[in-house]
Amino acid sequence: MEILTDVDGDRIRALRKRDAFFWLDLKDPADAELDVVGPLLGLHELAMEDSREFGQRSKLDRYPEQVLLVYWSARVLPDGQGTELVEVHLHISGGFLFTVRRAPSGALDELHRELEAEEPDAEAYVLYRVLDALTDALYPVVDDLESRIDALEAQVLADTDRRQLSEIYRLKQEVQQVLRRVVPQRDQFTMATDAIVALPGLTHGKREYLRDIGDHLSQVAGELYRQNDDLGGLTSTYFNANSNRLNELATRLTVLATFFLIWTLVTSFFGQNFRWLTDHVESLHAFLIFGVGGLIVPTLLAAVYFWRRRREWL
């Protein structure tokens, strides 16, 4: 299996002359390289124009002898920096596969080594392996998002913090960003499969491998939809937990204020200049009974009441 990673005009012409299927994979090529590749492979001008302009939606463009498939994958960035979308343009024909990408893709780099050691019995199988590698690269992204959502949920349930709300919305944006790319290409993949199968000169194996890609895309989209719903639920959980926290704080302040109310009421009563009080509360014994006892007894009664009702309030 011939795999090229740079523009070698003589080698490409030789491969095309003997009708040998090959894969040309260019990473972040310059416009000058694309200007050379287009005529070498006989690609349509509109197809080459699309491959000069990245940031496109998932799409399928049919030409007389080729198909352009804009396919999206993703990767987990190192050091917990989140995820990055990977846009790959696949120019497919019966004699070659030409891929263009701007972002790194470890899945395709690994596939180079695997296919170089193999002799595929069908050209469509090579295309399947490329699309399968790009699709399977989405699973680690889904797993990374899932682990971050679970960790954030545990933090919210343990103790709410304003920074958690920002993290929830940031995670939701990441999930929706991947979802916006995966769902359209899932919906159009059946059409893309039919267009690829109909290409003249493309040999097919006994098994319809490409249909497996559609199943994987459906699984990934389903997981992303669920994660999006989980983050919506986590937002509600955050606000509920924050509300409960405020209610607990208000309850504690109310209990404390009640004790101060009792103490203020007792001390202010004995501060009245009634003749009976000034005549009878003179000794230490009277002070302990009326003064200290007047504070302790209602305080104990209130404490017992609050203790018995604590499960309803806290």
90-114 pLDDT, tens digit per residue, is 999 988 999 999 988 888 998 988 8
Mean pLDDT for 19-40 is: 91
Check pLDDT > 90 for residue 224. yes
Mean pLDDT for 5-22 is: 89
Tell me the average pLDDT of the chain: 87
How many angstroms separate the CA atoms of 274 and 281, rounded? Answer: 11
Check pLDDT > 90 for residue 148. yes
Of 273 and 138, which is predicted with more confidence? 138
Check pLDDT > 70 for residue 304. yes
Quote helix, strand, coil % in the chain, to nearest 5: 65, 15, 20
How many angstroms separate the CA atoms of 32 and 50, rounded? Answer: 15
Q: Which CATH number does 2-243 carry?
A: 3.30.460.20
**CA contacts within 13 A on the Cβ side of 234:** 27
- Residues 27, 65, 137, 177: is their CA dihedral positive or negative? positive
For the segment 116-139, what is each residue's pLDDT rounded down to a tens digit? 777 766 788 888 899 999 999 999
Indicate the pLDDT class of residue 78, thresholds 50, 70 and 90.
confident
Question: How high is the pLDDT of residue 207?
Answer: 54
Indicate the pLDDT class of residue 314, thresholds 50, 70 and 90.
low
